Amino acid sequence: MTDEVKPGDNRLKGIDPEKLLVIEVDEIHPLLDTQYPELVKRGDELLEKAVEWATKHKREIGIVILDDAEMNHASDLYAQLRTYAGETGEVEETRKKVKLRPYQATQSIDAWFKTRRERLVGAMAVIDRAQNARADKVRADEQAERLRIAREAELLAEKLKEEARQADAPDVAVDMAIEAEDIAEQAKVAAAAPAADLTRTRSTLGVTTSQSEKWDYRVTDIKKLCAAVVAGTAPETFVMPVDAAIKLAIKGPKGKREIPGLEIYPDYKINRRGAK
């Protein structure tokens, strides 16, 4: 036998799809260290410069810049660091090049498996809707029947208790009233059973199917909800600030500066233009 690929053979048959990488995952970092020694060296050098700068400007209150000359020197150092470590720096650009082919491969893998799933996910959804509709009917019918039984048991218990209250009522009447009251309580409990208990079935293959219950909500009147929060009948967490909307309202020189419940303040940051 030979592993040599002959004309007409499908070379893909000999490739294990679960072992597509030519190296092990734990070999990736050593590989990158080996292939990009200058990137590693430059990063170490820049880190040494940054530590040296911070040490030189360290004071009791923290890192301090005393004059314009030191300010400009800091900007030059920052520019060097950004060229290497910034969002469009050397490290990021190299990372994109290394990751491009694996990323494209991952997308292709995901697409192939997604196609396998999507052809049947629709069928699963159809079955799910049909089963949910059936469970709705079974639950409603069973709840109605259990409520009817509970009402009848309660009425019977009230009747027997009334008879037992008669002065000449025999002991057996009292016992019957007590028993009827217990039965009525049990019937109430049964009528309040969760949806899963009312709809549970088990297939010949051993699949247990039941309907669960989860409460959800929709906002119908935000003003009433806010009023409830103010009144204390709803917790403050029910109304949350919309960060994007607030920032848009306070943006720029003409933005709002006084809004009840908010502290509005400027946030200054350094901008740099010029040499990359």
What span, in angstroms and rounded, lies between the C-alpha atoms of 270 and 250? 20
Give the integer Cα–Cα distance in Å for 78 and 120.
Answer: 54
Q: For 116-152, how does the pLDDT look when each residue is reduced to its tens digit (9 = 90+)?
A: 999 999 999 999 999 999 999 999 999 999 999 999 9
154 CB neighbour count, 10 Å cutoff: 17
pLDDT (tens digit per residue) in 8-38: 567 888 888 998 888 999 999 999 999 999 9
pLDDT in tens, 31-60: 999 999 999 999 999 999 999 999 999 999
pLDDT of residue 213: 92
Phi, psi (rounded to 5 degrees) for 262: -120, 140
In the block, tokens 């050593």 appear at: 30
Over range 143-165, report the average pLDDT: 91
Distance of CA 273 to the CA centre of its chain: 39
Q: pLDDT tens across 213-248, in order?
A: 999 999 999 999 999 999 999 999 999 999 999 999
Q: What are the residue ranges spanned by the domains of the chain?
A: 16-118, 120-209, 217-263
Cα–Cα distance measured from residue 227 to residue 239, given in angstroms and rounded to the nearest whole number: 10
Window from 157-166, 196-205, 234-243 with minimum mean pLDDT: 157-166
- CA of 272: how far to CAs of 71, 136, 214, in Å? 11, 64, 53
